[in-house]
Amino acid sequence: MDLEAIRAELHMAVDRIIDAHAGRADDGRQQAPVADPVSVTAGEETGPWTYRWPGSEVEDFHQTRWYEAVGEQGKQRVRVAWARRAAWGRDDRLRAVVFHQQGGVDSTTYYPWTEFVETDDSRYAAIIPKPGRPRAQLRDGDSLPDRFRDRVVERTDALFDSIAEGSSMRFVVAESDEAEMVRHGYWVATLRNRF
């Protein structure tokens, strides 16, 4: 029995069902999509970059790009940086970290807003904080914030085979959707008062 093929078919079937019902109110009427109040503009690609984490650990990122994000907390300069690390049964799991550049354009001070980790099916997933307790993770069964109504949200254990029981929920995007990664980072930073 090919469990991976069965899992892939189940994911596709669930996606078709969700697509068929997405945006419909309980009475069958079409609902307006949730507008994201953060606008994102892509800037220049800047190639490799090194970041020193607290505790002096240094990480090399092989690719980075600048973004400008504008929302309720004003205009922010953001860098999306890509690296590979060991995680959840793989030595080379790709991840994108959304960093906020604090200070002016010449500042070397950065704060990580969020991280998207490559899933077993090559999508990218980030933790969703609970709006009322932003240091805690949203769990299966918790009320989903409106901003995720038209977006893909899945359990951690559905995204990573090496996790047997993971009820935390993850926001899932394609590798190419860095702008959505930046929007999510801005939302997380707003919840956690990181401005």
pLDDT at residue 147 above 80?
Answer: yes
Among 48, 50, 107, 53, smallest CA distance to 76 is for 107
- Of the chain, the percentage scoring pLDDT greater than 90 comes to 70
Output the pLDDT for position 24.
42
Output the pTM of the full model: 0.81
pLDDT of residue 30: 45
Is residue 117 within 8 A of residue 84, CB to CB? The reply is: no
How does residue 163 score in pLDDT terms, banded at 50, 70 and 90?
A: confident
Would you give the end-to-end CA distance of the chain in angstroms?
51
Angstrom distance (rounded) from CA 139 to CA 85: 25
- CA–CA separation, 126 vs 173, rounded Å? 9
The per-residue pLDDT for 25 is 44
Stretch among 59-73, 108-122, 127-141, 155-169 having the lowest mean pLDDT: 155-169
Rg of the chain on CA atoms, in Å: 18
**Mean pLDDT, the chain, whole residue set:** 86
Question: Facing residues of 125 across strands?
Answer: 117, 172
pLDDT at res. 86? 87
Lowest mean pLDDT among 23-37, 82-96, 114-128: 23-37
Q: Tell me the residue length of the chain.
A: 195
Assign residue 86 a region: left if phi > 0, alpha if psi is -120 to 50, beta otherwise? beta
| pLDDT at residue 29 in the model | 42
The percent of residues in the chain predicted with pLDDT above 70, rounded, is 82
